Structure 1
Amino acid sequence: MMQVANAVLDRTKTSYALGIIAATGGLAWLLSRKPYVHEIGGRKSPPGPKRKLLIGNAKNFPTTKWMEAFSELQKTYGDIIYFQVPGRGVLVLNSLEDAEDLLGKRANIWSARPESYIVMGLMEFGWALPYLVPGNDHNEQRKIFHQVIGPRAVTSFDTMLHEGADEFCKSLHGFSGDPEDIVSHAIGQITIRIAYGDEVHREHGDELVQLNSEGITYSTWCTQQLWLVNVFPLARYLPSWFPGVKFHSYVTKGKDMFSKIRVWAFGMVKEKVDQGTADLSVISKYLGDDERSNEYLRDATALMYLGGVDTTYAAIMSFFANMILYPEVQRKIHHELNEVVGHGRSPTVSDLSSLTYLRAVWKESFRMTPVAPTAVPHASTSDDNWKGYFLPKGTMIVPNVGFMLVDPRHWGNDANVFKPERFLGPGASSLPDVESLTFGFGRRRCPGRYLAERNGLLYIAAALSAYEIRPAADMATPVSITFSDNKIRRPTNLKCQFVSRR
């Protein structure tokens, strides 16, 4: 009887879901086009490409190379560009001042993330900081990031960083080709060590790096797809055999993956803490502290990898590419390293403040080859009126950081020239904070930036202290860098060799 009852219930849910979707589909489609309604009511929408009735900008919204597409459209529509795509409005900001205004000064409205019901709800990944709506959970996780890897606390792990940088340099010895695997693995391993300790790293480091790497790829891919359940949540009741329904297997895979990322390594460290055998890590250092919840500590630490590895390794890859493109810049860095560090030892974190030219080149590399040129989108939690425009609740904001970083209004007529000296002159203090721009805006600025900056700078200092970076054997120097068209961009034509300087 119970099986019969469950079967009837399943058919009822399916029929109910189908009925609701069919009955409300057309109406929801129309009502989701809020700008048309508000324009009729006299409320003004921002400028943007022409929309078609019902489908809005579905056919002329760029699907690839957002930075390039939005930067080109800036010439026609200016700093603010508005699209209406199925289910929501999209506001592109090309001006740094506008981004700071909306995402900073009006952060109480514009600090949410665009919803992805399949990822946050069905895959149960809503605990992840990048997806959390501002509130207690969001604030507590950010607080933990600040306490455990903030600008002061991060110094506790400098010994690990030094060891990681030495291992990184050893792995580059004699290498020729695309160093992507070496760089991403090195950054992943040091992040695992800091989060969970040396013992977990030795026993399961490669597995954890692989798991987290797959998690990044999978969550990014899922949020970029069009899912029926994101538009009609009741579609979750549709059976897997129903025509066109393909989300069930993806949900199962994602749910298992994100659960393992959340609890597996944490559980291993907690067991060692209980046994009194745990070594130094973020978890062992702060577990059981009365100032923070173990659950928030677990979730924040699980996000250290997802939030920092991709951006750091992509930044190092871009830096290496720029060293090949601008060998005269590399020679100046080598000269500075000789003066500050000398020969016979590796750079340390304490040397970084004296490596002023290296830091300037790091910033210029960020500026000219940003790793996240359109940042992570924000969304509004209520209707807003801004600059005479009406922006309905749920509008998604895309900050075109790539354009902001070469905007001549901030960087001058040589904005498209690779010129590290711009960060060393008397006007350097008036320039935008390149690294902050890369890590986001307002309440959503990445709280792991201090570890990422420290880690990235130390690793490039160590690499250039040990090696000269040249094009790979039998390969000509590239005239430009090509990039992957992912949310986090990395060079795709980098083939280099590391020639010892020692």
Structure 2
Amino acid sequence: MAISYWSLCLLAPLLWFMRRILSKGHAHPLPPGPSGLPLIGNVLDFPRRDHYKMYTKWAMKYGGIVHARSFGQSVIVINDIKVATAMLDKKGSLYSDRPVLQMCCELVGWKNTLVMQRAHGSRLKEMRKAIHGLIGTPGATARHYALFEGETRALLRRVLRDPRGVKESIRRTAGSIILMLAYGYTTMEKDDPIERIADHAMSQFGELSRPGAYLVDVLPVLRYIPAWVPGAKFKRTADNCYKTLQDMANIPFRIAKKELDGGTAYPSFVTTHMEGKDLSEENKHRIKWAAASLYAGGADSTVSTVYTFYLAMTLFPELQRKAQKDIDDVVGNDRLPSFADRANLPYVEALYREVLRWRPAAPLGIPHAVTDDEIHDGYNIPKGSIVVVNVRHILHDAAIYTNPDVFDPDRFIAKEGKVAEKDPRACIFGFGRRICPGLHLGDATVWIAIATTLAVFDVSKTMENGCEITPSGKYFDGIVIHPEPFKCEIKPRSAQAQALILAE
């Protein structure tokens, strides 16, 4: 239910009155930003898609911290890594909350997942602690390297069989890893029902959380109107999305619990936290949603990043050859790269980091919310403000990265008289107390997919009617962005490479 012109006209007087009643003066100014219109603020300034582009324009005009307003709701946009660190890392307790999204969180139920969990109460801390034990450190994540390498070999075989379906193969591999870690669930090779439900829920999340998509996020009282009322289609949409999300959380959890009770369960996050324990319903609820959060927090961004890698290799074949030489010199041609080789493959590492920087999967991260009024650098940051970090802009800041719009892995390799540029992982996984708990998982699974693909495949532009087809490089919008489908050629580098792909 998009916000229409007439909706704005009806809402404006009420919101103006509420603002007059509730507002109060403050000795410190708000951060600079666009002036907006009376009553509705900057609502008309926010674009329908690619918000980071507008925020980048604001950064050029107003600086590293910008204030905007939407119907009285303060929005703080951070466009500078130093500001993000000073506010979200060093004062993490003030910036650890999530905004209340009526449609996504309250009506559909995404508030139960870790990514949208509110900061108050103990559940956030308990869920993060549980996941930390599984993948929260490099050592804990390393225990699963054999799984990652095995599933990545399956990815290579899928791509060999169906190079046109590379994105679907990436998605299947990312889902298989998460479902095995979370539930000990082995996915079917084709059309797995659990993966299908989870992917559908993630697709819905992208739409539900899109700014300005639903009027109920602006006027929360609308959540109480009956579904039959004209204009209340959003209630029926919410009911449908609620069912999908519940299925995503409940179905694999029940399978894991049934196998645990029957003594046939494969070790997983769920079995670790339930085996031999008499748990309260609250603790079962926490474990169930923590497990669901593993998929919600990791699979989609992994798919985006690995598909972006294929796009980059299609567009920049000369850099692909440099990375392949790195592998050939260190690993050779008679085996696949492993995690044990990572420290000895500097150009592959640099290329991986450049993929992360060039097109970050979540260009604005996940929004934070301020738990109390505070003053930062002389500016008033009101309680309840939504705080957004413009990750895309930071990773394309010419003050940090030389020629930032150019795809150049060499920027991350130190040379005589030149230090390596800033590692993008300091930004893309979030900040403060809401930093992604699966950052080591994401780092490992994306790196091994890139390294093994480079070892055995050549990725290039496709030819049609004698003409070379260059991908547009456009992306679908969302909290997690994805390259629009593009054509490319993916072929084994040699007969020996093909034999490595097919070897079990």
TM-score by length of 1: 0.87
Equivalent position SS for 1:364: helix
Are the counterparts in 2 of residues 469 and 497 from structure 1 also a CA contact under 8 Å? yes
**Structure 2 unaligned residues grouped into runs of 5+:** 1-9, 498-504
1:152 — aligned with what?
139
1:117 corresponds in structure 2 to: 102
Q: CA deviation at 1:334?
A: 1.0
The yes-or-no answer on 1:163 pairing with 2:150 is yes
By how many angstroms is 1:155 displaced?
2.4
* Structure 1: 5+ residue stretches without partners: 1-22
Asked if 1:484 is matched to 2:470, the reply is no
**What are the residue-to-residue correspondences of 1:425-444 with 2, within 5 Å?**
425=414, 431-444=421-434
**Cα deviations across residues 261-306 of structure 1 (Å, max 9, x unaligned)?**
2221111111111111112322234433779954433221111111
Answer with 482-491 or 286-295: which moved more: 286-295
How far off is 1:472 after superposition?
Answer: 2.3
Partners in 1 of 2:410 and 2:304 — Cα distance? 23
Change in 2 beyond 3 A, CA 1:481/1:472: same
3-state SS of paired residue (1:312): helix
Can you list the C-alpha shifts for 1:1-33, whole angstroms capped at 9, x where unaligned?
xxxxxxxxxxxxxxxxxxxxxx99844444348
2:388 pairs with one of 384, 391, 398: 398
Give yes or no for the alignment of 1:416 onto 2:416. Answer: no
Mean CA deviation greater in 275-284 or 175-184: 175-184
| C-alpha distance in structure 2 between counterparts of 1:42 and 1:495, whole Å | 57
Is 1:470 matched up with 2:460?
A: yes
Contact 2:104 2:208 (C-alpha < 8 Å) held by counterparts? yes
Q: Provide the C-alpha distance between the structure 1 equivalents of 2:86 and 2:118, rounded to a whole number of angstroms.
A: 20
Q: What is the distance in 2 between the residues matched to 1:477 and 1:423?
A: 30
Opposite residue 112 of structure 1, the aligned amino acid is: D
Offset at 1:439?
A: 1.2
Deviation at 1:428, TM superposition (A): 8.1
> Structure 1 residues 137-146 or 417-426, which shifts more?
417-426
Give 1:351 deviation, angstroms: 2.1
Q: Check whether the contact 1:322–1:365 (CA below 8 A) recurs between aligned residues.
A: yes
CA distance in 2, matches of 1:417, 1:251: 42
1:98 maps onto 2:109 in alignment: no
| Structure 2 residue matching 1:213: 3-state secondary structure | helix
Q: 1:29 to 1:254 in 2, by over 3 A?
A: farther
Name which of 182, 202, 213 aligns with 2:199: 213
Q: Distance in 2 between matches of 1:122 and 1:371?
A: 26
Residue 331 of structure 1 deviates from its aligned partner by 0.7
The structural deviation recorded for 1:324 is 1.9
Report the Cα offset of residue 479 of structure 1.
7.5
Q: Describe the superposition over 1:154-178 as per-residue Cα deviations: whole angstroms up to 9, x where unpaired.
A: 2232222122111110111154446
- Taking a change above 3 Å as real, the CA distance of residues 432 and 160 of structure 1, as seen in their structure-2 partners, is same
Distance (Å, rounded) in 2 between the aligned partners of 1:428 and 1:253: 55
Residue 72 (structure 2) pairs with residue 83 (structure 1):
no
User: 1:349 is aligned with what amino acid?
Assistant: F
**C-alpha spacing 1:237/1:297, structure 2 compared with 1 (3 Å):** closer
Separation (CA, whole Å) in 1 of partners of 2:392 and 2:371: 26
3-state SS in 1 of match to 2:111: coil
Tell me how far apart the structure 1 counterparts of residues 191 and 447 of structure 2 sit (CA, whole Å). Answer: 23
CA distance in 2, matches of 1:235, 1:92: 27
**Residues 175 and 497, structure 1, Cα contact 8 Å, conserved in 2:** no
Cα distance change on mapping 1:92 and 1:428 into 2, 3 Å: farther
Amino acid at match of 2:297: G
Residue 494 of structure 1 aligns to a residue whose secondary structure is coil
Counterpart AA for 2:78: L
> What is the identity, as a one-letter code, of the residue corresponding to 1:484?
F
- Which letter maps to 1:145? I
1:272 to 234, 250, 259: 259
Select 1:126's aligned residue among 111, 116, 123.
Answer: 111
Amino acid at match of 1:379: A
Is 2:370 the counterpart of 1:361?
no
Post-superposition offset of 1:385: 1.7
CA displacement 1:183-239 (0-9 Å, x = unmatched): 22221222222222244x249971111111111111221222554544444434322
1:480–1:28 CA distance, 2 compared to 1 (3 A)? closer
Contact 2:159 2:165 in 1 (8 A): no
Q: 1:467–1:498: 8 Å Cα contact kept in structure 2?
A: yes
Deviation per CA, 1:288-343: give whole Å up to 9, x if none. Answer: 37799544332211111111111111111111111122212111111111122222
Q: Report the AA paired with residue 185 of structure 1.
A: R
How high is the TM-score relative to the length of structure 2?
0.87
CA distance in 1, matches of 2:240, 2:29: 43
Does the 8 Å contact 1:174/1:499 carry over to 2?
Answer: no
RMSD: 2.7
Q: How does 1:483-502 map onto structure 2 within 5 Å? A: 483-492=475-484, 494-501=486-493, 502=497
Q: 1:417 to 1:240 in 2, by over 3 A?
A: closer
3-state SS of paired residue (2:483) = coil
Change over 3 Å in CA distance of 1:105–1:291 after alignment to 2: farther
Q: For 1:59, what is the secondary structure of its paired residue? A: helix
Deviation of 1:99 after TM superposition, in Å, equals 0.8
Please name the residue that 2:275 is paired with. Answer: 288
Query: Residues 97 and 298 from structure 1, CA distance in 2 versus in 1: closer, same or farther, beyond 3 angstroms?
Result: same
1:257–1:32 CA distance, 2 compared to 1 (3 A): farther
User: Alignment partner of 2:264: what SS?
Assistant: coil
User: Does 2:375 correspond to 1:385?
Assistant: yes
Give the Cα–Cα distance (whole angstroms) in 1 for the partners of residues 273 and 227 of structure 2. 44
Residue 17 of structure 1: aligned partner = none
Question: How far apart are 1:434 and its partner, in Å?
Answer: 0.8
SS of the equivalent of 1:154 reads: helix
Question: Percent same amino acid among aligned pairs?
Answer: 28
Q: CA 1:47–1:156 in structure 2 vs 1: closer, same or farther (change >3 Å)?
A: same
Match for residue 48 of structure 1? Answer: 33
Inter-partner Cα distance in structure 1 for 2:253 and 2:59: 46
Give the match for residue 438 of structure 2. 448
